[in-house]
Amino acid sequence: MAVAAKNKGTVVIEGQEITITNPNKLLWPEMGISKIIYLEKLLMLAPYLLTYCRNRYLTTIRFPNGYADKSFYQKNAPEPIPDFVKTAVLEGINYVHLDSAPTLLWLGNLASLEFHPSFHLIGEQLPEEWLIDIDPSLDPEPRIMEAAEIIGEALDRMNIQSVPKTSGATGVQIYVPIVREHGYTFEQLRKIGHFVAQYSVQKYPKLFTIERLKKDRGKLIYIDYLQHWYGKTLSAPYTPRARKDATVSTPLRWDEVARRCDPREFNLLTIGDRLAQTGDLIQQLPPQSLKHVLSFI
């Protein structure tokens, strides 16, 4: 991707012309990642990131002067909206529909460093997948991979296969593709999440909590089964995060969790080589039936 002008230029992606402003502005100074490098990485990530943002209501977090400076959440599509950018309205908010590489680069040029899609598709009420968010109180939390492994093993004993993914920040999320034809509701998935969380807290009371208030968690790791709900969002697989190491929310193999990998290993400078080796680990897991679990909960 070449931008000739020092402060402004254009690129053509999939037939759409996108203006790039301040291409040399450093968004992650410690990593040497300028806006133009960031946009190149987004273009590489597009086939993966778009899989989890397409047909969803998208919230972005924008950092006009880089990850360490002031930021703001962007729910309503920022004006002016180019002709190629689609939007979708939910509860009075006109969300961006991130369905193409040009739209992704347009958002990237606006210094959108994080992409948080809804758990359900545009115009639908039912969840597209199921996630449990494992949210530590400490940063960094050296026990986070141990915690993920415990939750994964609990699901495995329930005959539910899952994929762990780094949040890209401090936590890990357990991702479960589901058989959508079964019509699972958010309420049903929350029941299973509550069951798993309660079991884990009872078995490992010095590690886990389901206390919602951060001030009351101490150093315990919060099992957030409540975030997975209609209208809520979570960091998408393969979204960059506004962290010092330019981390990317990355699906993991369970053997990587077992060796206690460091989430900082997976960042904008390393994710390309990893994806070339592993592909999308979530897409390699078949959708899971949860009927057997719901029948006994």
What span, in angstroms and rounded, lies between the C-alpha atoms of 52 and 76?
19
How many angstroms separate the Cα of 136 from the Cα of each of 118, 127, 213, 218?
22, 25, 13, 10
- Print pLDDT tens along the chain (297 aa): 655 446 788 999 999 999 999 999 999 999 999 999 999 999 999 999 999 999 999 999 999 999 999 999 999 999 999 999 999 999 999 999 999 999 999 999 999 999 999 999 999 999 999 999 999 999 989 999 999 999 999 999 999 999 999 999 999 999 999 999 999 999 999 999 999 999 999 999 999 999 999 899 999 999 999 999 999 999 999 999 999 999 999 999 999 999 999 999 999 999 999 999 999 999 999 999 999 999 988
Extract the tokens encoding 115.
């992409």
Beta-carbon contacts of residue 198 (< 8 Å; ≥ 6 apart): 210
pTM of this prediction? Answer: 0.95
Extract the tokens encoding 123.
């115009």
Note whether 95 and 58 are within 8 A (CB): yes
At 7 the pLDDT is 76
For the CA atoms of 116, 122, 126, 132, the dihedral, rounded to the nearest 10 degrees, stands at -10
At 5 the pLDDT is 47
* Strand-pair category, 208-209 with 221-224: parallel
Phi, psi of 189 (to 5 degrees): -70, -35
DSSP per-residue letters across 198-247: HHHHHH-TTTEE----GGG-TTPEEEE-SS-STT-B-PPTT-B-SSTT-B
At 33 the pLDDT is 98
Q: Find where tokens 């996630």 sit.
A: 131
Note whether 69 and 63 are within 8 A (CB): yes
To 10 degrees, what angle do helices 271-278 and 35-53 make?
40
pLDDT tens figures, 30-74: 999 999 999 999 999 999 999 999 999 999 999 999 999 999 999
pLDDT tens figures, 196-221: 999 999 999 999 999 999 899 999 99
At 1 the pLDDT is 65
Give 274's strand partners: none
Note whether 125 and 230 are within 8 A (CB): yes
**Residue 255 neighbours by CB distance under 10 Å:** 8
Which among 257, 277, 96 is positioned nearest to 175, based on CA atoms? Answer: 257
What span, in angstroms and rounded, lies between the C-alpha atoms of 54 and 51?
6
Q: Which helix (H) or strand (E) holds 150?
A: helix 144-157
At 8 the pLDDT is 82
Angle (nearest 5°) at CA 170 between 107 and 159:
100
